[in-house]
Structure 1
């Protein structure tokens, strides 16, 4: 929207700047010249979408903080860390972030402590890595007058660790008060009653059945060339590919021989009844379906799979639970993570959720998907601001040109 001079997007940024707030960026384009200059001139202070060393380096050279990303699904740190490793340059504009992290990653590996360890593995100096999650980040968000270092006048938010190698966190203080010690909270969190609107977000107009996923072959043609969203393991980008599909009984379906799966996005917030059809490649699913209501940024209901019946079961399972993540095969639910709060959250503890997510991860392998954290990759398929091809409830989007495009190429 910024580079295309979209009025609404520029107005949002303008109001943010007028309110003296920080504008955070989302620049995922490979162009690091005039386009990046224009984007930063808009007012962006930081960006977490660097996937190459040159992306981060060019942002840092222009005074924009580059967040080096390492989450459950996105493993960009290995490549992006090359922007500073072995180079003599000022690293004040380099920070670390996770972007998206599963509960079992948090419980099993950690959060920023884990990412610091990964940064050190890639050759970043330990003190530099710690700066990248403290003072550098606070400065980027213009909060270094309160946070980011242990000094007079600053908030007493302090993380205590055993040593600089293991980074084992022994206790945590917030505003000078002990809030966690030896992996346990030191205070009780009161129960919260969520309002009905927050727990009633599955507002889908039409009843979903296997017929909802039928995709007719126009003119009863035997073969069609279709657009395909090809995902890249451990990366946020997609490739705008194409494939030839053979119709069966007048319908276009998934083709597991080509690793091509049908995908459908249903609008779930306002009962509009809109849905978009597409095809995705790269998940490796041999038999079954996956569905999710975590689907950035509109968070509609997204389903991918090999057969319409399993896709319908996956969709209806999430409708019944108020949202979440689910894996289905041969008419049976293999794993289900309910997210009844807005279809995005659960009020269970991280440890409880970790058990559910671990079972979900095992179910991916059962249906043939070897990709790390496929639900996170799946969650970005509707995000139309990332290149190259995306699927929304309104249809396919060429996110390089920001226009809707037809599924069929013939």
Structure 2
């Protein structure tokens, strides 16, 4: 049973999913499908949430004196937004925009403060957690993007060693390498290296950043030199997702509002996220499901939870 003051929220939803499935309307419909009374689910997404932030005197209900966008639907158990009103004007009808609503976020754009000037490629080499007695195998971390905070998010696995180097293969499958890098270091920089399951990059590298609770980068690739170059390019922005090959930028998606949000229209953001995937595909990326940008950003949730960021 949900308590009377329960509320709903969402996080880390890709632009593609927003366009195809919706946002809080989708969450409300999902709650109704799970057996929660539709009115209660709507209240959890509106009034209860506003009240939890002590803002119910401003938002959260269709009440005189409050601010409110209005959605008209033909069903409460499965929200189907037929009409959407913003500031008293009809802006969408039958899931199509009638009027574009533009908000200027340019004043919130922040400049990057680089922190990786002293990062050396060899810091991204995988250091074995353990070496077998005969020196033919090494124990390393294997991260799984689909773990999403669960116990299988990372494992310690044995992989081959050849000529003193880690061979990124496990149970007959070849993996990319992943490095987790603290952006700003006072003394020794915190770096965690391992193998990565979920995004495979044959050539080049892809890196992205996350600013909270502590600024970190993740970079995926095969070679330390390319990975170091890629993450240093991302370091030039307050936030970004960047694909590189042969020390050249191939695709860039700036995340320039405090390193957490993009200053783009929906069309621009969709195009930019698709360009990241398309560029990686050209470089031999094998990716299924969500866009790579969203997968990499999701990593930070689990990395923090399992204390790989400190």
| TM-score w.r.t. length of structure 1 | 0.59
Give the structure, 1 or 2, with the largest relative contact order (CA under 8 Å, sep 6 or more). Answer: 2
- Cα RMSD of the aligned pairs, angstroms, is 3.7
Secondary structure in structure 1 of the residue aligned to 2:84: strand
Segments of 5+ residues of structure 2 without an aligned counterpart are none
Contact 1:214 1:251 in 2 (8 A): no
Corresponding residue for 1:277? Answer: 192
Corresponding residue for 2:59? Answer: 147
Contact 1:323 1:339 in 2 (8 A): yes
1:260-339 mapped onto 2 (5 Å cutoff)? 260-269=175-184, 274-285=189-200, 287-288=202-203, 289-294=205-210, 296-328=212-244, 335-339=251-255
Residue 288 (structure 2) pairs with residue 370 (structure 1): yes
1:228/1:166 Cα in 2 relative to 1: closer, same or farther (>3 Å)?
Answer: closer
Corresponding residue for 1:105? Answer: 17
Following superposition, the deviation at residue 281 of structure 1 comes to: 4.2
Segments of 5+ residues of structure 1 without an aligned counterpart are 1-56, 64-91, 395-410
Residue 166 (structure 2) pairs with residue 252 (structure 1): yes
Contact 1:216 1:251 in 2 (8 A): no
Following superposition, the deviation at residue 340 of structure 1 comes to: 3.5
1:165-204 mapped onto 2 (5 Å cutoff)? 165=78, 167-168=80-81, 170-173=83-86, 177-178=87-88, 181-182=91-92, 183=97, 189-190=103-104, 192-193=106-107, 198-204=110-116
1:11-410 mapped onto 2 (5 Å cutoff)? 57=1, 60=2, 63=3, 92-152=4-64, 154-164=65-75, 165=78, 167-168=80-81, 170-173=83-86, 177-178=87-88, 181-182=91-92, 183=97, 189-190=103-104, 192-193=106-107, 198-206=110-118, 208-209=120-121, 211-215=122-126, 221-232=135-146, 235-239=148-152, 240-252=154-166, 254-255=168-169, 257-258=172-173, 260-269=175-184, 274-285=189-200, 287-288=202-203, 289-294=205-210, 296-328=212-244, 335-362=251-278, 367-383=285-301, 387=305, 389-392=306-309
Count of residue pairs brought into register by the alignment: 296
User: What is the alpha-carbon distance in structure 1 between the residues aligned to residue 167 and residue 213 of structure 2?
Assistant: 27
| TM-score w.r.t. length of structure 2 | 0.75
1:358/1:371 Cα in 2 relative to 1: closer, same or farther (>3 Å)?
Answer: same
> CA-to-partner distance for each residue in 1:341-365, whole Å, 9 max, x for gaps?
4433332223211211123344566
Contact 1:324 1:343 in 2 (8 A): yes
1:254/1:323 Cα in 2 relative to 1: closer, same or farther (>3 Å)?
Answer: farther
1:147/1:200 Cα in 2 relative to 1: closer, same or farther (>3 Å)?
Answer: closer
